[in-house]
Structure 1
């Protein structure tokens, strides 16, 4: 009998502080610094210095010291990014119900999408727009019931969209789509339309990463504004000191003139 081949030793685990920082990690730290600036814990110059350090950081270990002395850093230290789509917090959002009876119900903009959404349209219309939503979990299930009404669903272009619904004397149209990334959010649309309509499809040009890009651009704009305010404050301080020195010289000259006279 031959002996089993010895297993190769497992590679050593990477320490948390040595893990490469993601854009989401930097954005979380920048948000802590923004709150500290608003509360007066940091002055504009300190805030600008720390923001520069945040966006130069390469690893988690370089990010941690930036907020070590701030209250928000103690209980919510940055964690490694769990994937390109993990924008939201770990706690799941509660189920959401959208009901339109002889009326309209709309949910859109930047919001935290729950794992389950129930939409009912009875002689009314429901609009669900997920193109700017935060996805705390990968699986999203939307249960729709359209009775003499309509339900319209829009999702980002780079997520998976599936359906298992049906139309009864109505239309149930879902433009199914499989994302190229296995970690992308998955939206499942189930239900039925009776003398009504259900439509779900990706919104062309809307990508889930666009939200992150806009948030990052917002942080850059905040940094620029804080820097400009700081520069203006320094200029005003210099002008005040110059006026103060000029007044002192003028008083000294008057004193000397009166003394000489």
Structure 2
């Protein structure tokens, strides 16, 4: 495995401890890499074991250093430094996986609903409330919309029309709950919401319109 360059003592990746959610995210990356043929079965097993034993972000960075994924320590570094790492900088969030449209629900709900044009990359951050991407009135010609869920203690929700689909195969859970009440495969020509990440202690639900939502749409 490629050895990382020496970091200065002030580097937070050397001193800030990681949690279960951080380990889960790296394990998901490793499994995806193995599925794509980037890692052998032996390498996957070795790196998952190293991930479970890791204590600091620098250790996670080393584990995925030779894979096409941002270093886990990016999340604890200042945003300007992260922006310099992006291959392209867009004026609107959501056009690049390193710059998704973020719905962060700290103590109040964060919802995107009504008539809107969703970008291809969205991140739901249910810290302690509900982060919801509601596509019932969305207007898009995208075939796939990537939705990342970060670990929290609230609720992450995806609401879709009857003919859309939601795939949650790459969404992991530590202590939370993951539920999908919708098809995993969309109708022909309709969008697929591809969900990945880790819910931590939060909950995730994918659903169709509820009673009141249907009534509002009928008006």
TM-score, normalising length from structure 1? 0.41
Q: Which has the larger radius of gyration?
A: 1
More helix by share: 1
